[in-house]
Amino acid sequence: MMRLFITALLLGLYSCSNSKIVRAPSSIVLLEEDGKVLSALVNQEVPYWIVKPSGNYPNLPVVFFLHGRGGSARMFKDIGGVEALKSHIEYGRQPFAVIGLTGTFQGKDTYWVNDANPHGMPWADAILKEIIPKLEKQHQLGGLAKRMIAGISMGSHGAFQLALNSEGMFKCVAGHSIVMRDYQSLSTLFPGVFGTREEFRARNPMSLLKKYNLFYRPQIQKVWIDIGGRDSAEFIRWAKPFKRELIRVGFSERRQSYLDVARDNPLGDHTYSYWHQRLPEYLEWYGQCFNN
């Protein structure tokens, strides 16, 4: 009997030593806030929304999150982001804050660009030069190694446009249900906003990417793009050459980027349920951005 007991004990110890250690979740409180930040460039207070863990987190990283058409600064919350972020942090993964920015003015989408109309608003400049610096200072967040930008649909276009039009502001860029509309589509949807074809190139991520060389301008360290297999056929058609261009300039999955065009989620569509389903993946990748 004693021999059987010792054998069982040794087997139990061996099993424990080879099993995966699971971190027990701990209680964490997330703080949410709606606010406004004054922008002199667009001459108005611009709404934002923030969620961050309570407690002492010096130099907490931050993800600036851009909504899609018809959305709001709270889109991250609307797709279940608060609960997903809480679970993410409770299980010992990299904590960070998320700030949702506003891309609408008087009920119209800005597409996150400097409006080419003579009396249009310089939204991109306002975000890069005023809103982000003010919010980081106010909430004691970010800095280059601790800042990334992400967006859904229209926000994916905005995330890449802002990152490629700024000099070293963002460590990583993510575009979910990515939509890289062409000149004809954007000129029809937003007449005058993107201007002439030449002005369009300064506001178009594909055109900006063609001039980008990762090995000489290494500020953006990695990117994520995804689009579901049941999304718009037109959106998927636009996403494919953008993926090829990302690879051409040096972004690849060998460098910890993630380039999923209708591959890993063949049933995914352009809906809140798709984004909610993928949130844990998004958040884990965001955290990895700040850890590398």
DSSP for 226-245, written as a single string: EE-TTS-HHHHHHHHHHHHH
Give the pLDDT of residue 291: 86
pLDDT tens, position by position, 104-141: 887 888 999 999 998 889 999 999 999 999 999 999 99
DSSP 139: H
Across the chain, mean pLDDT equals 88
Residue 10 has pLDDT above 60, yes or no: no
219 pLDDT band, cuts 50/70/90, is: confident
Q: Which amino acid is at 270?
A: H
Proportion of the chain above pLDDT 70, given as a percent: 89
Distance set, CA 22 to CA 91, 205, 278, 284 (Å): 9, 41, 22, 16
**Residue tagged 């990283």 (tokens):** 61
Round to whole Å and give the CA distance between 95 and 63: 11
pLDDT tens, position by position, 58-103: 789 999 999 999 999 999 999 999 999 999 999 999 999 999 999 9
**Helices 81-90 and 272-291 meet at what angle, rounded to 10?**
40
pTM comes to: 0.89
pLDDT tens, position by position, 174-189: 999 999 999 999 999 9
Pick from 127, 111, 131, 113: which is nearest to 71 by CA? 111
Structural domains of the chain sorted by starting position, each given as residue range(s) with its CATH number in brackets: 26-291 (3.40.50.1820)
Residue 11 has pLDDT above 80, yes or no: no
Strands laid side by side in the 62-66 sheet: 30-39, 44-53, 97-101, 62-66, 147-152, 172-176, 222-227, 258-261
Give the pLDDT of residue 215: 63
